[in-house]
Amino acid sequence: MEPRGIGLSGVDPGIIRELSGIYKPFIKAFKELISNAYDADAKRIAVNIRDDFSTIEVDDDGNGMTPYDFHEGFARLGGSTAWLRDGKSPGGRSRIGYKGIGFLATARYCQALKVESHAIRPFIGSRPIEGRGRKVIPLREIVGDLVPADLVKDKVAITRMVATSSTGESRRLSPKDFQIDNRGNLRITSARALKARAYTINYKIDCRHLLLEASLDFDYILGLEHRGDLRVLADFCTVRYRPAAQGARSHTRVTLCGLKDFVVRELSAPRTKGKARNIVFKSGKEQFLWRLARTSPIRDDLSEEFSGESLYRFRELQEAADLPMLVVKWRSEEPITLLRPLYLARGQAIPFEETVVPVEIDENGLRVSGYLLARSEIIYPAELRGISIRVRNVAIGDASFLGWEHILSGPRKAAMSQITGELLVLDGLDAADAINPGRESFYEENHHYRVLKRALMGSEESIGGLVNKTIKAVLDRSRVRSQVNDKIVEARRRRKVLVDISSAVNYYARVEDPSARGLLNFFDTPIRADGLASSRDVPTRPQHKLAGFELENRVGLKAEVEIDYQRRKVRVDFAQDTWNTTIYLNGHYYEVLLKQGRPDHPICEFDNEGRRIFVNWGHPVKLHMDDTGFLKSAILLRLAYHAAPRDADAMMNLALNMLSFRAE
Amino acid sequence: MAVLDHNPELYFSREVDQKSRVLLINPPVQERRYHWLRWNQPTELLRLSSWLRTNHRGIQIRLFDFMFPDSAGSVSKHKVKETWGSSESDSQLWHFGRRFEDFEEYVSGMLREHWIPDVIVVSSLTSYWHVSIEKLLIKLCTRLGRRVRQAAKIILYGNYPRFEPEHAENQPDADVALTRTVQTKDLFPDFGLYIHAERGLPNFYGLDVESSSLADHLAGCLEVQGAFDKTRGISRPSTISVAFLNDDICSPSTHLEDVVAFAQSHPNRFVIEGIAGIEPRSLSSERLRQLKNAGFRSLFVEHAREPGGDLDVAAYSPLLELLGEEAHERKSGRNSNAWLDRGRVTGFVAIGLPDDEMDKIVRSTLKINQFFQSIILKPYGYSPSIGRLSAEARRKRWRQPWQSSPQWFPYLGNESELTQGDYENLLRWQNVLNKRVKGTTFDFLDDGNVARLVRETLMTESWKRQEDAK
């Protein structure tokens, strides 16, 4: 069969280029092909990227297209038939594409687009025809001449015919009133029917015997910009019909041919050197696959490990959704099945239940279900930060905070880097005035969008809503973590000082010096502490509560501390060395105890019988020093005093040496 | 204070049983210099482990070896920073081996997993490296805490308590100082300890060439390596490095012939490191042949001194004859297997001894440099083989044992007439002879003793040759 050209009238190629430019970058255009396959009720969509990046194929097992479907829906600008069947596919899916410009999406990115399709379902059409008293109405007038008449003449069936009289009355004709003759023409066989001024003829065409092959030459089309007669674009699309194999299943294969150099460069780009935590720094292949998975109507990579109640509904909706399998074969590698990456994916740390904020909106025709998730660390990759909103199982734009990320500042803005969310729009937000072409964002003035925005972000005057609740959760956890951390750091510093004291004293005790002898002798002197021993203890460990959370001593923790935000508990292993207040001095272990003594009490006292050291935390000198400096000074000064009690110079010398001691 | 114990076998049989947990520690070294750093392997501890396992089946033993190399194969080192230095010296001390912080972390981890040691054995390669042991003990006691410390026994082991028992006895942070090591001569060192401790094996296997079970030990090394390689999925047999840490591998007690036999029956399976010393008087043609067949490719020859300090040239004769023969055979092309030449032999020259005389040392270096490609000036410290001194006498001379370390030239100002400057000059002279002049220069016209002697010696020697030539 000779290829035929299909014309596209009245459109400036410049407009086509502009429309294609809506889908930037390449993946945003490419995803339209997946959306088309989804709209065609495909169960399995296979993407095949050639080794040399010369072509990319999208092969689906959906309903396929008859030549008439192709002409109506694929090759006509704005000619989407999505409005038929109330925006549903024949299989009942809510269609993604409905503006009729999706096929142009890839125009900028390749030289040509080829389509091969086969449909089992018949094409169902309807045509108003003028009567004019004609007995014979040519088939061509009813079905058009898209397909040569001889290919379809035995394949057309009139399913309904309504005659309208000159007075405007309509009457359905019975099969006795007309017939299809052996030439395939429509014959009006009843006199009554002949009188009609006009007919409305519903028909169906069986195209099971036809395999459609079409080719759109984008280079040619876009090359016509500002040249030639733009009112008629001939050869816009070349179509050929082949006989289909007997029993062939319905399918569509779209092939992008001659990918542009910049697309090939993008796809073959290597990963950025160094740490590539964000998708933008990954290789071209990784970026393509990740973004394709994020923007396609496929199953989420939802970890089975997390089964919290908040996610129960989300998981249910996912499982109930009629979603196709998307398989990608990248060059000569093994094919992989893509799952939509989430922050709750396999391999991710399981969040605490309380950090998941459920989202359920049912207001004014808008129904949304999903969750927001607050993490205690910054979310990577960065592309997962923000809220992803899916309409008809396809994400609208990238995850975001609906513009509030540009308004907030300070800790609340920082907290946003720890929040992610997934929302499924079950009803609403699917009107033509809700989502912009390219499906990158919503129209701000759309009523449902305003409802959603208010529920999530609050009013325009101040941030509120569910996101604010999540931000508060992030900040609250951050506060708790910071306070707990401060306590740990304080304990570590204190421990280090005690170890330093131990090093200095033990080291100096080995130096052959009269004052060192005094030091050695002191540890065997039966000295007891007065006064400070009976003073109130100053705790060196947090008691009962920490950062407003209940404190629990738990031996054997893997980490130094565990924070259970859900139960509002902090678990600390006080057996660890950080909390140890014992020091080793010349073969003896001394317990260091902080006491709230009076200002006139000694700065420090040694109890060699009980092997305890009391440090007066109420001493006036403490006001002029930090805690660790005071602790070190108090103990070493007292030791020096005991080591050289009758020699002030030796005492000061010893004290200064020990205070400034620093050893390997 | 530590209690001295002279019967380690009895002690261990009393203190440990099959349920005991024993921690063995090879401590770091804090010293001015340590050229043989990479050869520090705690063979005595490894053999002790084997002995304990033999006598107490089921006993748990762990090892912390400060000298274990890092992932790059090097033993780490860093400068010791102390806010006050000893008045005896301003010399920079280095800490050789892993940091104390690593050890403290290790101990903390051990306690966290409730592996509480009953016995902790701290070994020592020399009698003078006790300062790092003292620091180690303080940190160990601090980390263990009172309860664990009271239940555990800390034992000093090796050459420090052996040669300085009185000093070791005064260590307040140890419980026992064993003045003798357990008899483990023919026991195979427990190299497997490293696999648990470090998830790896050391760079070399240190063995005793005088052990009658040497062949079994060599086989044991291959077995250990093979088992470890298997866990890493390596199927091809590895070549291992073996080092004999004996003073003289050609002594009458050597089992060098076992090494030869093993090398021949296991071709390309091991490389012998030439670290071991060789007394030139022990060398014979037969021994040299054995060394060659055993796989030695380089020799380190000890200094043969006459009682007065002169070089015992005759002691080097067998080796020099062989060098001459091999050179001749190589030249004539008669023997392509001739393996020995001057370039493969390094001669030691002892310095730091009480009877050091500059003239004799310089002459010895020149002579040995004629014999061999390179020389190493080997400092000596106090040892009973040099001069027996009582502990009291030693403390009078050197207040602390570390001062008798070879790196401190302990006989300076005592019996030796040389000065610190003389020794430093000698070390520079060594580099000149070895043609390694990295940033150090030797000024032949310097007024120092060494330069003067070198000039005199060179002039005398050249004059003598002219006279002989006449």
Would you say residue A57 has pLDDT above 90?
A: yes
Q: CB distance B173–A587 less than 8 Å?
A: yes
Residue A537 falls inside a structural domain: yes
d(CA A449, CA A442): 7
Q: Given CB atoms, is B172 within the 8 Å cutoff of chain A?
A: yes
Could you say which DSSP state residue A431 is in?
S
Task: Return the residue in A512, A577, A660, A661 with the most chain B beta carbons within 10 A, the one to mutate for interface testing.
Answer: A577
Of A181, A205, A229, the one marking the end of a domain is A205
How far A583 CA sits from the closest chain B CA (Å)?
7
Do A234 and A177 share a structural domain? no
What is the reported pLDDT for A460?
Answer: 63
In this prediction, what percent of chain B has a pLDDT beyond 90?
37
Residue A314 falls inside a structural domain: no
Could you say which DSSP state residue A387 is in?
E
State the number of CA atoms in the 13 A half-sphere of B272 facing the CB: 28
Do A402 and A380 share a structural domain? yes
> For A67, phi and psi rounded to 5 degrees?
-55, -30
What is the reported pLDDT for A436?
Answer: 83
* Sign of the C-alpha dihedral computed for residues B245, B246, B247 and B248 taken in this order: negative
Would you say residue B437 has pLDDT above 50?
A: no
Using a CB-CB distance cutoff of 8 angstroms, which residues of chain B are in contact with residue A506? Answer: 138, 173
d(CA A505, CA B11): 32
Among candidates A556, A586, A657 on the partner chain, residue whose Cβ is nearest the Cβ of B84? A657
Question: Which residues of B, range 297-356, sit inside 8 Å of A by Cβ?
Answer: none
**Residue A268: pLDDT band by 50, 70, 90 thresholds?**
very high
Looking at mean pLDDT, say which of A298-307, A591-600, B280-289 comes out highest.
A591-600
d(CA B139, CA B463): 62
Would you say residue A447 has pLDDT above 50?
A: yes
Do A458 and A547 share a structural domain? no
Using a CB-CB distance cutoff of 8 angstroms, which residues of chain B are in contact with residue A584? Answer: 138, 141-142
Which three-class secondary structure state does DSSP give residue A77? Answer: coil
Q: Given CB atoms, is B135 within the 8 Å cutoff of chain A?
A: yes
The amino acid that residue A397 corresponds to is G
Q: Per mean pLDDT, which range of A158-172, B215-229, B452-466 is the poorest?
A: B452-466
Would you say residue A234 has pLDDT above 60?
A: no
* Sign of the C-alpha dihedral computed for residues A635, A640, A645 and A649 taken in this order: negative
How far B14 CA sits from the closest chain A CA (Å)?
24
Q: CB distance A664–B95 less than 8 Å?
A: yes
Would you say residue A103 has pLDDT above 70?
A: no
| Chain position carrying tokens 């035929």 | A4
Q: Per mean pLDDT, which range of A170-174, A224-228, A413-417, B157-161 is the poorest?
A: A224-228
Q: CB distance A664–B172 less than 8 Å?
A: no
d(CA A655, CA A642): 11
**Residue A474: pLDDT band by 50, 70, 90 thresholds?**
confident
Nearest chain A residue to B28 by CA: give it. A664
Would you say residue B462 has pLDDT above 60?
A: no
**Residue B167: pLDDT band by 50, 70, 90 thresholds?**
very high
How far A589 CA sits from the closest chain B CA (Å)?
6
Would you say residue A632 has pLDDT above 60?
A: yes
Number of structural domains chain A divides into: 4
Residue A5 falls inside a structural domain: no
Token pair for residue B84?
A: 């006050």
Do A505 and A447 share a structural domain? no
Question: Quick one: residue A502, left, alpha or beta (phi over 0 = left, psi -120 to 50 = alpha)?
Answer: alpha
The amino acid that residue A503 corresponds to is S
> For A557, phi and psi rounded to 5 degrees?
-65, 145
**Residue A339: pLDDT band by 50, 70, 90 thresholds?**
very high
- Top pLDDT among A411 and B415 is at A411
Rounded to the nearest integer, the mean pLDDT of chain A is 85
How far B25 CA sits from the closest chain A CA (Å)?
18
Which three-class secondary structure state does DSSP give residue A634? Answer: helix
Mean pLDDT, residues A433-458 taken together: 86
| Chain position carrying tokens 């004291």 | A501
Task: Return the residue in B76, B77, B84 with the most chain A beta carbons within 10 A, the one to mutate for interface testing.
Answer: B84
Among candidates B78, B82, B149 on the partner chain, residue whose Cβ is nearest the Cβ of A663? B82
d(CA A50, CA A34): 18
Task: Return the residue in B83, B103, B396 with the most chain A beta carbons within 10 A, the one to mutate for interface testing.
Answer: B83
What is the reported pLDDT for A536?
Answer: 93
Looking at residue A56, which CATH number applies to its domain?
3.30.565.10
Rounded to the nearest integer, the mean pLDDT of chain B is 85
What is the reported pLDDT for A77?
Answer: 55
Mean pLDDT, residues A250-263 taken together: 93
What is the reported pLDDT for A230?
Answer: 47
Which three-class secondary structure state does DSSP give residue A614? Answer: strand
Q: CB distance B135–A664 less than 8 Å?
A: yes
d(CA A226, CA B353): 101
- Cβ contacts from A onto B, under 8 A: 53
Using a CB-CB distance cutoff of 8 angstroms, which residues of chain B are in contact with residue A580? Answer: 145
Which three-class secondary structure state does DSSP give residue A245? Answer: coil
Would you say residue A7 has pLDDT above 80?
A: no
Do A574 and A446 share a structural domain? no
Do A541 and A625 share a structural domain? yes
Helix (H) or strand (E) holding A430: none
How far A492 CA sits from the closest chain B CA (Å)?
14
What is the reported pLDDT for B438?
Answer: 43
pLDDT in tens, B232-287: 888 788 889 898 888 888 888 889 889 889 888 888 888 887 676 788 888 887 88
| Residues B330 and B341 sit within 8 Å (Cβ to Cβ) | yes
Would you say residue B439 has pLDDT above 50?
A: no
Q: Given CB atoms, is B101 within the 8 Å cutoff of chain A?
A: no
pLDDT in tens, B365-387: 888 888 887 888 888 888 887 77
Would you say residue B456 has pLDDT above 80?
A: no
Q: Given CB atoms, is A502 within the 8 Å cutoff of chain B?
A: yes
Using a CB-CB distance cutoff of 8 angstroms, which residues of chain B are in contact with residue A519? Answer: none
Of A419, A443, A474, the one marking the end of a domain is A474
In this prediction, what percent of chain B has a pLDDT beyond 70?
88
Would you say residue A570 has pLDDT above 90?
A: yes
Do A562 and A611 share a structural domain? yes
Would you say residue B445 has pLDDT above 70?
A: no
Among candidates B142, B146, B399 on the partner chain, residue whose Cβ is nearest the Cβ of A502? B142
Residue A99 falls inside a structural domain: yes
Using a CB-CB distance cutoff of 8 angstroms, which residues of chain B are in contact with residue A556? Answer: 112
Return contacts of A522-528, CB within 8 angstroms, 24+ apart. Answer: A522/A606, A522/A608, A522/A639, A522/A642, A522/A643, A523/A585, A523/A586, A523/A587, A523/A588, A523/A608, A524/A608, A525/A608, A525/A642, A526/A608, A526/A609, A527/A606, A527/A607, A527/A608, A527/A609, A527/A642, A528/A607, A528/A608, A528/A609, A528/A610
Residue A589 falls inside a structural domain: yes
Residue A306 falls inside a structural domain: no
Q: Given CB atoms, is A423 within the 8 Å cutoff of chain B?
A: no
Q: CB distance A663–B108 less than 8 Å?
A: no
Q: Given CB atoms, is A281 within the 8 Å cutoff of chain B?
A: no
Q: CB distance B80–A510 less than 8 Å?
A: no
Looking at mean pLDDT, say which of A144-153, A429-438, A447-456 comes out highest.
A447-456
Closest CA to B184 of B152, B215, B217, B225: B217
d(CA B376, CA B289): 24
Do A468 and A375 share a structural domain? yes
What is the reported pLDDT for A404?
Answer: 84
| Residues A555 and A535 sit within 8 Å (Cβ to Cβ) | no
How far B34 CA sits from the closest chain A CA (Å)?
18
**Residue A43: pLDDT band by 50, 70, 90 thresholds?**
very high
Could you say which DSSP state residue A458 is in?
B
Beginning with the edge strand found earlier in the chain, give each strand of the sheet holding B77-79 in spatial order. B29-31, B94-96, B77-79
Mean pLDDT, residues A178-207 taken together: 87
pLDDT in tens, B186-199: 899 999 999 988 88
Q: Given CB atoms, is B147 within the 8 Å cutoff of chain A?
A: no
Would you say residue B425 has pLDDT above 60?
A: yes
Would you say residue A259 has pLDDT above 90?
A: yes
Residue A3 falls inside a structural domain: no
Mean pLDDT, residues A95-110 taken together: 74
What is the reported pLDDT for A107?
Answer: 85
Using a CB-CB distance cutoff of 8 angstroms, which residues of chain A are in contact with residue B142? Answer: 499, 502, 583-584
| Residues A290 and A308 sit within 8 Å (Cβ to Cβ) | no
Using a CB-CB distance cutoff of 8 angstroms, which residues of chain B are in contact with residue A582? Answer: 145-146
Q: How far apart are the first and last CA of chain B?
A: 72
What is the reported pLDDT for B86?
Answer: 47
Q: Given CB atoms, is B146 within the 8 Å cutoff of chain A?
A: yes
Q: Given CB atoms, is A587 within the 8 Å cutoff of chain B?
A: yes
**Residue B444: pLDDT band by 50, 70, 90 thresholds?**
low
In this prediction, what percent of chain A has a pLDDT beyond 90?
40
Would you say residue B48 has pLDDT above 90?
A: yes
The amino acid that residue B334 corresponds to is R
Helix (H) or strand (E) holding A654: helix A648-659
Among candidates A499, A657, A661 on the partner chain, residue whose Cβ is nearest the Cβ of B142? A499
Do A253 and A193 share a structural domain? no
d(CA A115, CA B78): 71
Nearest chain A residue to B135 by CA: give it. A507
**Separate counts of helices (H) and strands (E) for chain A:** 16, 30
Question: Which residues of A, range 296-325, sit inside 8 Å of B by Cβ?
Answer: none
* Sign of the C-alpha dihedral computed for residues B444, B447, B450 and B455 taken in this order: positive
In this prediction, what percent of chain A has a pLDDT beyond 70?
87
Of A474, A504, A523, the one marking the end of a domain is A474
Do A492 and A633 share a structural domain? yes
Identify the domain containing residue A253 by its residue range. 14-119+212-268
Q: Given CB atoms, is A580 within the 8 Å cutoff of chain B?
A: yes
**Helices (H), ranges, A245-386:** 261-267, 284-295, 309-320
Do A445 and A354 share a structural domain? yes
Q: Given CB atoms, is B116 within the 8 Å cutoff of chain A?
A: no
How far B117 CA sits from the closest chain A CA (Å)?
17
Dihedral of the alpha carbons of A241, A242, A246, A247, in degrees to the nearest 10 = -40
Do A95 and A241 share a structural domain? yes
Looking at residue A428, which CATH number applies to its domain?
3.30.230
**Residue A298: pLDDT band by 50, 70, 90 thresholds?**
very high
Q: Given CB atoms, is B30 within the 8 Å cutoff of chain A?
A: yes
Residue A302 falls inside a structural domain: no
pTM of this structure: 0.70
Cβ-Cβ contacts under 8 Å for A348 (sequence gap 6 or more): A303
Closest CA to B319 of B289, B295, B349: B289
d(CA B416, CA B352): 8
Q: Given CB atoms, is A499 within the 8 Å cutoff of chain B?
A: yes
CA A344 to chain CA centroid, Å, is 10
Would you say residue A639 has pLDDT above 70?
A: yes
Q: Given CB atoms, is A200 within the 8 Å cutoff of chain B?
A: no
pLDDT in tens, B73-128: 889 999 988 655 444 455 788 999 999 999 999 999 999 888 999 999 999 999 99
Would you say residue B440 has pLDDT above 60?
A: no
Token pair for residue B223?
A: 């077995």
| Residues B335 and B361 sit within 8 Å (Cβ to Cβ) | no
State the number of CA atoms in the 13 A half-sphere of A137 facing the CB: 26
- Top pLDDT among A529 and B352 is at B352
Q: What is the 3-state secondary structure (H, E, C) of chain B?
A: CCEEECCHHHHHHHHCCCCCEEEEEECCEEECCCCCHHHCCCHHHHHHHHHHHHHCCCCEEEEEECCCCCCCCCCCEEECCCCCCCCCCCCCCEEECCCHHHHHHHHHHHHHCCCCCCEEEECCCCCCCCHHHHHHHHHHHHHHHHHHHHHCEEEECCHHHHHCHHHHHCCCCCCEEECCCCCCCCCCCCCCHHHHHHCCCCCCEEECCCCCCHHHHHHHHHHHHHHHHHHCCCCCCCCEEEEECCCCCCCCCCCHHHHHHHHHHCCCCEEEECCCEECHHHCCHHHHHHHHHHCCCCEEECCCECCCCCECHHHHHHHHHHHHHHHHHHHHCCCCCCCCCHHHEEEEEEECCCCCCHHHHHHHHHHHHHHCCEEEEEECCCCCCCCCCCHHHHHHHCCCHHHHCHHHCCCECCCECCCHHHHHHHHHHHHHHCCCCCCCCCCCCCCCHHHHHHHHHHHHHHHHHHHHHC
What is the reported pLDDT for A637?
Answer: 94
